[in-house]
Amino acid sequence: MNHMKFVVVGHPNKGKSSIVATLTQDTTVAIGPRPGTTTKSRSFYLKNGDEVLYELIDTPGFQRPKKLLAWLQAQESTDASERPKLLEKFLQTQCPSTTFADECELLRPIVDGAAILYVVDASKPYSAKFEAEMEILRFAARPSMAILNYITDDDYTKEWQAALRQYFSIIKPFNPLKASFNDHIDLLRALSHIAPEWSSDISKTIGFLQKYHQKQKEQIATTIAKGVCEILSFKMRDSYRLSTPNE
């Protein structure tokens, strides 16, 4: 059965893998401080038993976006409706490639139909160097959303939003290291706006997560209550021993 697929893309070392790990609750996602930790596209899944609710595809970062954009723009194309086919042509004629190794990895799931989650670090100033990446993603004509991550405490949200609004209709802040359960749900709700055809699947996923979260809270409350009862019981027994006269 088909399920929702989202490919997480962006510049190297902007928190893509951390976002994948948080949204799939998967601790096996490779995360490192150095650029290039992710070298191959890899899928991670959020599941309810054996049922896949959604798939997140972690990808390497863009390495040569300007060179790739120049290649795309140099191809003959009659109008904008033909642009998605240029990405297919790129994959067919230029991949595998040592020059575009990372671009080949990140574009393939997009061409295969995944929606796009473009991650930026909004704790760093915006730079025009990111525009080639966004132009390439626009060629794909896929549902897309920009995610503002914050790796440090600095905040350049306004300038990022001014640039991103030219490419993305939805922009959401999401710090995977600080995100609450409600932040996770809010992000999922936003995804239903970029891909209306998945609205019912997203609602189903949200319902599952809410029930799972409630169950976790109840289990934690039960564990705490048992622990408190055991402590009180121990104190009462200890108090009884101290108050009993020695024979």
- In this predicted structure, the answer to whether residue 97 has a pLDDT above a threshold of 90 is no
- According to the model, what pLDDT value does residue 79 have? 81
**Coil, strand or helix at 145:** strand
Cα separation of the two ends of the chain: 75
pLDDT of the residue at 15: 86
Q: What is the pLDDT of residue 74?
A: 92
What pTM was computed for the model? 0.84
- Helices then strands, each counted (H, E), the chain: 8, 6
Q: 132: part of which helix (H) or strand (E)?
A: helix 131-140
For residues 70-104, one letter each, b for 16 or more C-beta atoms within 10 angstroms of the residue's C-beta and e for the rest, the string is ebbeeeeeeeeeebeebbeebbeeeeeeeebebbb
The pair of structure tokens assigned to 165 is: 């609004």
> The tokens 């642009």 sit on which residue?
83
**pLDDT per position as a tens digit, 49-72:** 899 999 999 999 999 999 999 999
- What would the mean pLDDT of 149-156 be, rounded to a whole number? 95
Of the two residues 1 and 10, the one the predictor is more confident about is 10
Cα 148-10-43 angle, rounded to 5 deg: 105
Q: Domains in the chain, please, with CATH? A: 4-206 (3.40.50.300)
Structure tokens at 88: 């297919």
Strands 51-58 and 4-10: parallel
The DSSP result for 179-227, as a single string, is --HHHHHHHHHHHHHH-GGGHHHHHHHHHHHHHHHHHHHHHHHHHHHHH
Per-residue pLDDT tens over the stretch 199-238: 999 999 999 999 987 777 667 777 777 777 777 676 666 6
